[in-house]
Amino acid sequence: MVRIDGPAAQDVADVFHKRWTQAVEDGVEYAGNATDFQVATDIAERQGGVQAQVTATLPDPIAEHAIIETWLNAIARAEHYVYIEDQYFRAPMLNDALMERMREVPDLKLVVITKPINEWTDPGCYHTYESAELFQSTFPDRFLFLQLRSFDTQVTLGFDETDAHFVDMDVHSKMFIVDDRFMSVGSCNKNNRGVIYEGELNVAVLDDAWVTAERRSVLAGILGVSNVADDPSAWFQQLKSAALANDAVYAKWDDESFDLDLDGDPLPAAYKPKGFLYSLPFSDTSDCLLESVGEDMTGQEPPSGPPDDGGDADGQGPI
């Protein structure tokens, strides 16, 4: 998440006012006790600030889809990379735009960090696997599908006293970064519910220096390093190599049933992962028990039609 100061903060309040007013007009419970309020519009511009736009998904009857509009605009201008970190990766509109742009730009890379899917209980399994397979089969050298895991050991009594604990991390960061120039972060997931049906709020930033600094910080954190390359091809390979190295460490522990007999000796380097990055395997869509449950699976366009040119989400103009 990000903290917003300055004029953009009044746009956050404006979105709240829209939803408050709509709820009162709809006569929701306790609406009779509600009162109207005014949004302050005199917040001074901050010196040294960045160009930011508050964007929203608002359901009918407001029907605003500015979040997906800014994402599609950014994808249409992408030249080097698109980085997605989210608990979901199953938005058909997003897939279509990414596929089209990756065909147009031969060097464009896509990195997706998300969380593992439960094939038995997750109704989003089908479209998640479908999305991953789409990009892996079409752009195998330009697509990374990754997950985050934490690791620690515990020394117990008896034989094989050193136990390994790998824990899948529940990715919930909802980031979208393009070319060290554009970043969108907020509550909106990469699925139909987030970009079409539900009430969501993001902030989109268009600022080379700020986005570059944030991308460096994000990657350094998950890689467990102090410095990250700026060349997209270099850090793409850095992510790939780190995931493969950690996969190998995980496999070595798996071969040992996740416990070792070290007799007090230090943990060998071959059993120490670095950072949090691992490959995220996926299966065929036929392995998903729930294949067509819920509106998140429909692939529909927004009720008001396809996204427009992305202008005027909350008075800030297109990004």
User: Domains in the chain, start-ordered, CATH in brackets?
Assistant: 1-49 (no CATH), 51-297 (3.30.870.10)
- Whole-model pTM above 0.85? yes
Would you say residue 159 has pLDDT above 70? yes
SS3 content of the chain, % helix, strand, coil (to 5): 35, 20, 45
- pLDDT bin (cut points 50, 70, 90) of residue 292 is low
Where residue 297 falls among pLDDT bands split at 50, 70, 90? low
pLDDT at 291: 63
For the four alpha carbons of 218, 75, 142 and 108, in that order, the dihedral sign comes to: negative
| Integer Rg of the chain from CA | 22
Question: What value does the mean pLDDT of the chain take?
Answer: 90
Among 1-15, 26-40, 251-265, 294-308, whose mean pLDDT is lowest?
Answer: 294-308
Mean pLDDT value across residues 154-163: 84
What is the Cα–Cα distance from 122 to 145, expressed in whole angstroms?
A: 18
- Segment 38-44 shows an average pLDDT of 86
Share of the chain above pLDDT 70, in %: 90
**Amino acid identity, residue 54?**
V
Cα 72 from chain centre:
15
Kindly give, in sequence order, each residue whose CB lies less than 8 Å from that of residue 280, ignoring residues fewer than 6 positions away: 114, 116, 132, 145, 146, 147
Other C-beta atoms closer than 10 Å to the C-beta of 254 total: 11
pLDDT digits (tens, 9 = 90+) for 234-275: 999 999 999 999 999 999 999 999 999 998 899 999 999 999
d(CA 270, CA 251): 11
